[in-house]
Amino acid sequence: MHAIGFDREKYLALQSHHIDARRRQFGGKLYLELGGKLFDDLHASRVLPGFTPDTKIAMLEQLKDDLEIVVVVSARDLARNKVRADHGISYDEDVLRLIDGFRSRGLYVGSVVISRVTEDNGHARAFKRKLEKLGLKVYRHYPIRGYPNDIPLIVSEHGYGRNDYVETSRDVVVLTGPGPGSGKMATCLSQLYHDHVRGIPSGYAKFETFPIWNLPLDHPVNIAYEAATADLDDVNMIDPFHLAAHGVQAVNYNRDVEIFPVLNLLFERILGESPYKSPTDMGVNMVGSCISDDAVCRAASRQEVIRRWYAALVEERRDQLEPEESDRIALLMSSLGVSATDRAVVGPTLKLARRTQAPAAAIELPDGRIVTGKTSPLLGACSAMLLDALKALAGIDDAVKLLAPEAIEPIQELKTRHLGSRNPRLHTDEVLIALAVSANADPHAKRALAELQHLRGCDAHSSVILGSVDSGILRNLGVLVTSEPVYQTKNLYRKR
């Protein structure tokens, strides 16, 4: 069993209570900007063991009779075909995935906002038509010259007034999107302007998770957030406005602190006065009050920083980038006093790779055992690691062969004779299919297959950059896999 460091049930109760209290504070609609991911917050689940990826959406379900969701996506991201790294899908696809996910949990999705729309953006027009054909309401918001500093223009009919007004029917409106920079905050402020013009009472708040305002600035959980946003140049800092107004140190991040004076002026211009004295005041974030084992969360966060460093190294190698992001994360690792060797699966992986002169992999099981996998004529390193891990979890002797020859040979023949593959080794997806077939007749294979659920949350490492198939399968199994920034071959063309 993996150690638990976060009280999920306490968080569900506290966070929903404080959101409802914030709604009542404004006496009308509450536009709630969601910072981070809603029903698949994998980062939070890694650094706060016990915080499941769907914890936040489970909390919102408690308010669902009063709640609707608006999905915001930037026209710029659509034009760039931006891809979500954690799911490997484009932002337009992710909008549809999000809507499906919300609806499957009984949450009402009111509409989609496409922000930063320009006349020459054909991608935005095409996506709007697609969404409307799917029966969704779509609204357009436009760039505002001088944003966010030209307050008189922004808070006018030529600024926010030019945007489509998003029609909503519930009291709590959650604004979320595929990633950062989608325009969620601007959409909230635009709605406040339109509501004020219409005489509708409404307010704004941020549904925050990271950084955690009531943890120290140098707490590993907060440092892990810096590592997660290293590509955005985000830096955690003490909120000077909160310290001045309340005499209390609170952690926020640079972008919110830098923009707060402008936001304050916008609130005053729209509402007559600002409801907040600091950017931290704007947030609703009870995460820090629900950490049940600080040591567990500290350890998990240190491991997350190392994983982020490896991910940055691989991305820089793939795209031939300068090591800016990995260097930033390396500094964070130094501040935590950790290095790659503190990741338990790295040493065994590299040792096996040196001994065999071939790709190798290792995984750490929930009880701390390390299982390695080496490359063979039949299996790739990750496939071997996966099979041996399942055998170890099921208590099956290492000498037992889980895959029946009659299950393997047709797959190899199909790959080499009919699909044009020069590599007869089985990938992880093929291994799992073969194992499922073998489980019909072999009780060992059946026992091993039943252990797949226990791989979730396990750390793994590969001595070479993984292909899309192996990385996708391990991600779907919940394995936290990293790899050395090294390619297995010297080929110039590589399929992702």
Q: Which two tokens stand for residue 207?
A: 């549904």
Q: Confirm whether 444 is domain-assigned.
A: yes
Q: Is residue 331 part of a domain?
A: no
Q: Are residues 76 and 190 in the same domain?
A: yes
Q: What is the pLDDT of residue 86?
A: 60
Question: With contact defined as beta carbons under 8 Å apart, do 106 and 54 qualify?
Answer: no
| One domain, residues 282 and 353 | no
Asked if residue 300 belongs to a domain, the reply is no
Beta carbons of 26 and 200 less than 8 angstroms apart: no
Q: What is the pLDDT along the chain (496 residues), one digit of tens a residue?
A: 689 999 999 999 999 999 999 999 998 999 999 977 777 789 999 999 999 999 999 999 999 999 999 999 999 999 887 666 666 678 899 999 999 999 999 999 999 999 999 988 889 999 999 999 999 999 999 999 988 889 999 999 999 999 999 999 999 999 999 877 899 999 999 999 999 999 999 999 999 999 999 999 999 999 999 999 998 878 999 999 999 999 999 999 998 999 999 999 999 999 899 999 999 999 999 999 999 999 999 999 999 999 999 999 999 999 999 999 999 999 999 999 999 999 999 999 999 999 999 999 999 999 999 999 999 988 899 999 999 999 999 999 988 988 877 677 777 777 766 666 666 678 899 899 889 988 888 999 999 999 999 999 999 999 999 998 899 999 999 999 999 999 976 654 445 5
Judged on CB neighbours under 10 Å (0-12, 13-18, 19+), 356 is middle
pLDDT given for residue 493 in this prediction: 44
In terms of residue numbers, what domain contains 439?
Answer: 343-496
pLDDT digits 0-9 by tens, 299-356: 999 999 999 999 999 999 999 999 999 999 999 999 999 999 999 999 999 999 999 9
pLDDT of the residue at 490: 61
On whether the CB atoms of residues 140 and 187 are closer than 8 A, the answer is no
DSSP H helices, 273-404, are 279-282, 294-319, 324-336, 346-356, 381-394
Q: Do 80 and 215 fall into the same domain?
A: yes
- The residue among 269, 290, 311 that closes a domain is 290
- Asked if residue 462 is part of any domain, the answer here is yes
Distance CA 453, CA 457 (A): 10
165 and 76 together in one domain: yes
Give the strand order in the sheet containing 370-374.
370-374, 360-364, 459-462, 480-483
Pair 264, 347 in one domain: no
- For residue range 114-156, list pLDDT tens digits in order: 999 998 888 999 999 999 999 999 999 999 998 888 999 999 9
CA distances from 267 to 157, 243, 270 (A): 16, 21, 5
Domain contains 330: no
Statement to judge: residues 282 and 193 lie in one domain: yes
Looking at the 3D structure of the chain, how many domains does it have? Answer: 2
Q: What is the CATH number of the domain that holds 173?
A: 3.10.630.10
Last residue within a domain, chosen from 290, 308, 331 = 290
Q: Which amino acid is at 130?
A: K
Query: What's residue 373's pLDDT?
Result: 97
Q: What is the pLDDT of residue 309?
A: 98
Indicate whether 1 belongs to any domain.
no
In angstroms, the CA 257 to CA 204 distance is: 17
Distance, CA of 94 to CA of 82 (rounded, Å): 10
The pLDDT value given to residue 87: 63
Residues 265 and 354 in one domain: no
Same domain, 268 and 348: no
CA distance linking residue 117 with residue 48, whole number of Å = 37
Q: What are phi and psi of 7, to 5 degrees?
A: -95, 95
450 and 368 fall within a common domain: yes
Residues 265 and 121 in one domain: yes
Q: Are 36 and 210 in contact (CB under 8 A)?
A: yes
Identify the three-state secondary structure at position 477.
coil
**In CATH, what number is assigned to the domain containing residue 433?**
3.40.140.40
The answer to the question of residue 319 being in a domain is no
Last residue of a domain, one of 271, 290, 309: 290
Judgement on whether residues 47 and 144 belong to the same structural domain of the protein: yes
Same domain for 260 and 360, yes or no, is no
The whole-number pLDDT of residue 492 equals 44
Residue 423 structure tokens: 């590599």
Question: Is residue 52 domain-resident?
Answer: yes
